[in-house]
Amino acid sequence: MTKILHVCSRKGFGGTQTVFAAHQKLFDLLNIDSTAITRKNIKFILTTRSNRDYLTYFRRIPIQVQPDYKRLRRLSDNFDVIWVHKPIDCFIWRKIAPSKKIVLVVHGFQNTHLKLADYLVAVSVPVQQHLLDKGFTNVFLINNFLDKDIRTSNIKWNDKIQISSFGFFRRKKGFTDLVDALSILENKLGYKNFQCSIFGKGRMFPFIKLKSLFKKTSKLNIKPWTHNISEVLKSTDIVVIPSRSESFSMVAVEAMAAGCLVISTKCKGPEYIVNHEKDGILVEKRNSHAMAEAIKNVIDNPEKFSSLRMLAPETIRMKFSTEQAKKCMFDFLQVISKDV
């Protein structure tokens, strides 16, 4: 049986760590002999069946002088495959364990160090296509998936439409475009019957806050990042994804599974998830007027969009469920087992 050393070196919590935890669950479901290796301060819960170890290394100094180099090298001797989630970790583990097979999970549209991996696992079709366009042939697809039950519930709209948005405050997330859209909606179109909350953190927080004040968006609250998105979604009508670039969008998947109406920009990842005017709405990126118009249409006649909210959970169940991911993982592991 193939033995996997599963590595996550990120310190904070985000999409990479979410996929790491999800893949570890798939290993457990498939009874794969695996050990999860993380930094000690990483903030997520692994299943109790998972073996666990910890690493310490610094990405900006030569691997041979890393404090954990010898221990990690001895540890790798016990495994057939090193499974990593960052290109820089592919580079580091190729130095630590040059003879081992390396699987690199590709979460975005980066290109550095990819040639060092024996296998590339794309987390979405847009990422897979990007890798194929770059000439890689060792590319496999294991969709990001929702690691929870998907239940269709009765769709009820709040008397005051509740809008939510989630993410790290970086330029590519497009939150400044969302602030502009809310300003247009409130101050130019005169709409008051809504409330929007942005949950996040990051270096652009002061800029987004100042812009919201300058634009006089009184219907906007900027709140700290939450690890319990599902609780927020219970009282949310619309989830807006204003990004300028996304390789996937787990927020879209969670929101649709919860029966929220997703309004997203056309920024690759969400276009693969949301079917326009069937289970959600897509608008042009960097177009605050189009975003404002889409929200306005929902506020004007929410019942008209109830069918989209009702169909959204079924889309997620069909394409992004644990069972679908489990099958893809099993098929991929069969390929690996013939090569180790």
Residue type, 79: F
Residue 47 has pLDDT above 70, yes or no: no
Q: What is the pLDDT of residue 17?
A: 83
Q: What is the pLDDT of residue 61?
A: 75
Lowest mean pLDDT among 37-51, 149-163, 240-254, 268-282: 37-51
Q: What is the pLDDT of residue 45?
A: 56
Rounded CA gap, 107 and 184, in Å?
34
Query: How many CB atoms sit inside 10 A of residue 208's CB?
Result: 20
Q: What is the pLDDT of residue 67?
A: 81
pLDDT band at 268 (very low <50, low <70, confident <90, very high): very high
pLDDT band at 12 (very low <50, low <70, confident <90, very high): low
pLDDT digits (tens, 9 = 90+) for 302-332: 999 999 999 999 999 989 989 999 999 999 9
Residue type, 62: P
Highest mean pLDDT among 13-27, 139-153, 275-289, 317-331: 275-289
Q: What is the pLDDT of residue 243?
A: 97
Q: What is the pLDDT of residue 66?
A: 80
Whether the CB-CB separation of 291 and 194 falls below 8 Å is answered with no
3-state secondary structure of 298: helix
What is the per-residue DSSP string for 153-216?
Answer: ------SSEEEEEEEE--GGG-HHHHHHHHHIIIIIS---SEEEEEEEESTTHHHHHHHHHHTT
Residue 178 has pLDDT above 70, yes or no: yes
Residue 79 has pLDDT above 80, yes or no: yes
Give me the domains of the chain, ranges plus CATH numbers. 3-145+321-337 (3.40.50.2000), 161-319 (3.40.50.2000)
Q: What is the pLDDT of residue 84?
A: 97
Helix (H) or strand (E) holding 270, with range, is helix 269-273
Of 256, 182, 254, 239, the residue nearest 214 (C-alpha): 182
Highest mean pLDDT among 151-155, 223-227, 292-296: 292-296
Rounded CA gap, 300 and 304, in Å?
9
